[in-house]
Amino acid sequence: MRELTTVTDLREAAEDDTLLLWAAQGFPPGTRAWTHDGAVAVAAPRLSCRDRLAVRGPAPAVTRLVRHAFAEAGPALRPVGDTPLLRQLITAAPGLALVDTFGWMEISGDRLDTSATATAHWLAPHELAEAGALVEDAHPTSYARPDSPSAGHARAHRWAGVRDTTGRLTALAADAWSAPEAGFLAGVAAHPVHGRGRGHAEAACRLVLDALLRRSGRAALMVDGGNTAAVRLYRRLGMRWRDVSAAALTG
């Protein structure tokens, strides 16, 4: 077993896997990674409001890495990775149970077309309170918040928004928890009455994704697979689906 301490080593060991590169966040203090027999695990505390353990590789070696990560970084870590791997992992490691299944969607390139019907802009500080009210109304479970952080949530790095012809803020998207190697889109919300079905959320997402691609060359997000409207939007933006699950220790 070998500990990885640089992005270069992680990129090689994980075969340039966007999920693991995102989890590493450029290796800030507290983030650790290991490799063993073709498997890789990245322990990322408080990443997108969870203690995450991104994993990939052969299930037996991943199982050993997960046990090692729990011993080194604590049992609150939630393993996350491709769903077939996670199902093998919980079979091999009694005490682990699946707690969530969702979509990891990503896109690569150097830019994204931003010529949408609606026009998005980066929000100024004086717009964040209004944006916070919109998130609370349209996406109350969002981990990303444009106003003051609250329990279980965190302030995103920056927000894109769209206003309608009356000046009302109708849609939002955030650049949140982005890593140097992979940007991250979160906090997508559209006003239930004045924003949905008008291309406003798409315009906000395009502005954020374009900025992330220009900066990092790739971007990703997490989405509930049951949110078919959101999945259609992200596919229309050119993002690719990956079936991912998360596990946690029970008891």
In a domain? residue 181: yes
Render pLDDT for 116-175 as a digit per residue (tens, 0 to 9).
667 899 999 999 999 999 999 998 989 998 875 554 455 578 999 999 999 999 999 999
Same domain, 130 and 174: yes
Q: Which amino acid is at 4?
A: L
The answer to whether the beta carbons of residues 230 and 188 sit under 8 Å apart is yes
How far is residue 140's CA from residue 162's CA, in Å, rounded to a whole number? 19
Residue 240 lies in a domain: no
Instruction: Give the count of beta carbons closer than 10 Å to the beta carbon of residue 141.
Output: 8
CATH of the domain at 170: 3.40.630.30
Contact 32/68 with Cβ under 8 angstroms?
no
74, 122: one domain: no
Nearest-angstrom CA–CA distance, 224 and 101: 8
Of the pLDDT bands very low, low, confident and very high (cuts 50, 70, 90), residue 65 is: very high
- Report the chain's mean pLDDT, rounded to a whole number: 93
- Best CA proximity match to 20, nearest among 31, 124, 46: 31
Note whether residue 235 is domain-resident: no
Residue 130 lies in a domain: yes
- C-alpha distances (whole Å) from 15 to each of 12, 120, 132 are 5, 35, 38
User: How big is the chain, counted in residues?
Assistant: 251
CB neighbourhood size of 74 (10 A): 11
- Reported as type and span, the H/E element at residue 249 is strand 240-249
Q: Does residue 164 belong to any structural domain of this protein?
A: yes
49 in the Ramachandran plot: left (φ > 0), alpha (ψ -120 to 50) or beta? left
Task: Give me the domain span that covers residue 58.
Answer: 2-103
Instruction: Please count the structural domains in the chain.
Output: 2
**Residue 124 placed within a domain:** yes
Which of 72, 103, 134 terminates a domain? The answer is: 103
- Please check whether residues 62 and 125 belong to one and the same domain: no
Whether the pLDDT of residue 18 is over 90: the answer is yes
- Confidence class for position 189, pLDDT limits 50, 70, 90: very high
204 and 130: one domain?
yes
172 in the same domain as 119: yes
Q: What is the pLDDT of residues 201-241, one digit of tens each?
A: 999 999 999 999 999 999 999 999 999 999 999 999 999 99
240/65 Cα distance (integer angstroms): 28
| DSSP conformational letter for 60 | H
